[in-house]
C-alpha cells in the first residue's frame, strides 16, 4: 500500500500527526489513537437534518488530485477547466453510446434538490443540500441492454490541470451494480446550496451515493461505462482489504483499523451514532442480501 493511502482514514489533524508519527517509525501508535471513536457522548441522529455550512463543505475535502490534506483542494489554484465539459456514455451494455455536452445534459434533465447525509469512511460526516440529476435518468438515455451489469465511472485526470493527477497511477475510478445505479437515491450532482460545484467538491459533475461511504462519490466525471464485469475501483486497488466495492455504511462492520459505530460531525458538535446504510435502509436495503453479509459493508 502506498503511504498516502493512510490519509483517507484520518482527519486533517490526525493525518498531520500521523505523518509525523510515521516519520518517527511509530505507526502502530497512530493506528491505536485513530481507533478511539468516542461513543459515550454520541447523540442520536433522529432529529431533522441540519445542513453543514457551505463554507465548511467547500473547505474540508478529499480530492487527492489537488493534494492530500483536507485544506489542499480548496486552497489549490483553480486550474481545472470545467466548461466546456463532456461526459461520454459508452460500454458493451449501452445501446445508445454518445458524448454528451454538459450544457445538453442541463437542458434535457431537470435539476433536483436533495438534502442528504454524507458519511466518510474516515468516520466523519456532514449534511449536504445537493443539486443534480438522478443517475438513472442519464443511464436510461443510454438504453442499457442485458450486458449492463455494472456501471464504471472515470474521472478527469490531467497533469496540466491537476497538481497531483498521478497519485493513484491513473484516473480515479468508481463503480456500482446496475441496480444500485438505477436507485433513485443515486445522484449526479452539479451543485450545492443552489450554487455550482466548486473545483474542490468535484466540479462540474460528481457522484452522490448517500448510503455509501464518501470515497464512492467520484468527482469530475468524464466517462460512464455500462459493463459486464465488476470494475476495479481506485481505493480497492490502493488497499483491497480495507476499501471494498460496495462500501455501504454500517455501524456494525468496523473498518479493519477503527470503529465505524459513530462519526464526528464536521461543522457541528461532537459525535453521533452512525446508522445502517447511513439512514437510508428503507430505500436501499432491498438491493442487498442478508444484513450480516460482510461483503456489502466494506
Instruction: Give me the residues that bind ligand MTE (CB under 6 A), please.
Output: 8, 61-65, 120, 155, 172, 201-202, 214-215, 217-220
What count of Cα atoms within 13 Å lies in the side-chain half-sphere of residue 54?
10
Alpha-carbon gap, residue 271 to 44, rounded angstroms: 9
Using CB positions, name the residue nearest to ligand MTE: 214
Q: Considering the complex, what minimum distance in angstroms separates the CB of residue 92 from ligand MTE?
A: 24
Cell matching residue 11 = 482527519
SS3 92: coil
**Which letter does DSSP use for residue 83 in this model?**
S
**Which letter does DSSP use for residue 231 in this model?**
P
8 or 94: whose CB is closer to ligand MTE? 8
120 or 133: whose CB is closer to ligand MTE? 120
Q: Considering the complex, what minimum distance in angstroms separates the CB of residue 68 from ligand MTE?
A: 9
62 or 183: whose CB is closer to ligand MTE? 62
Alpha-carbon gap, residue 5 to 133, rounded angstroms: 31
120 or 148: whose CB is closer to ligand MTE? 120
| Residue 188 near residue 127, CB atoms below 8 Å | no
183 or 238: whose CB is closer to ligand MTE? 238
Q: Considering the complex, what minimum distance in angstroms separates the CB of residue 65 from ligand MTE?
A: 5
The pairing of beta strand 150-155 with beta strand 187-192: unpaired
Q: Considering the complex, what minimum distance in angstroms separates the CB of residue 61 from ligand MTE?
A: 3
Cell matching residue 72 = 489542499
Q: Considering the complex, what minimum distance in angstroms separates the CB of residue 239 from ligand MTE?
A: 12
Amino acid at each position: 500500500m502506498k503511504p498516502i493511502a493512510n490519509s483517507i482514514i484520518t482527519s486533517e489533524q490526525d493525518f498531520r500527526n500521523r505523518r509525523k508519527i510515521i516519520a518517527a517509525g511509530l505507526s502502530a501508535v497512530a493506528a491505536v489513537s485513530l481507533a478511539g471513536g468516542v461513543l459515550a457522548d454520541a447523540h442520536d441522529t433522529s432529529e431533522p437534518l441540519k445542513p453543514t455550512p457551505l463554507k465548511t463543505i467547500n473547505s474540508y475535502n478529499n480530492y487527492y488530485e489537488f493534494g492530500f490534506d483536507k485544506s489542499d483542494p480548496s486552497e489549490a489554484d483553480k486550474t481545472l477547466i470545467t466548461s466546456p465539459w463532456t461526459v461520454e456514455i459508452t460500454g458493451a451494455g449501452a445501446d445508445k453510446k454518445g458524448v454528451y455536452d454538459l450544457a445538453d445534459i442541463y437542458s434535457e434533465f431537470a435539476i433536483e434538490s436533495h438534502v442528504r447525509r454524507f458519511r466518510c469512511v474516515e468516520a466523519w460526516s456532514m449534511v449536504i443540500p445537493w443539486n443534480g440529476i438522478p443517475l438513472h435518468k442519464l443511464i436510461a438515455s443510454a438504453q442499457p441492454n442485458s450486458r449492463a451489469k455494472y456501471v464504471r465511472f472515470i474521472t478527469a485526470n490531467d497533469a496540466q490541470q491537476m497538481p497531483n493527477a498521478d497519485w493513484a497511477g491513473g484516473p480515479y475510478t468508481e463503480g456500482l451494480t446496475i441496480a444500485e445505479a438505477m436507485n433513485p437515491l443515486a445522484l449526479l450532482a452539479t451543485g450545492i446550496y443552489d450554487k455550482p460545484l466548486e473545483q474542490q467538491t468535484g466540479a462540474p459533475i460528481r457522484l452522490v451515493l448517500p448510503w455509501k461511504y464518501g470515497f464512492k462519490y467520484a468527482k469530475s466525471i468524464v466517462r460512464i461505462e455500462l459493463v459486464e464485469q465488476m470494475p476495479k475501483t481506485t481505493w480497492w486497488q490502493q488497499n483491497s482489504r480495507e476499501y471494498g466495492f460496495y462500501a455501504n455504511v454500517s455501524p456494525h462492520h468496523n473498518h479493519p483499523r477503527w470503529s465505524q459505530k459513530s462519526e464526528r460531525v464536521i461543522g457541528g458538535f461532537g459525535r453521533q451514532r452512525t446508522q445502517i446504510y447511513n439512514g437510508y435502509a428503507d430505500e436501499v436495503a432491498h438491493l442487498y442480501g442478508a444484513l450480516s453479509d460482510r461483503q456489502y459493508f466494506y
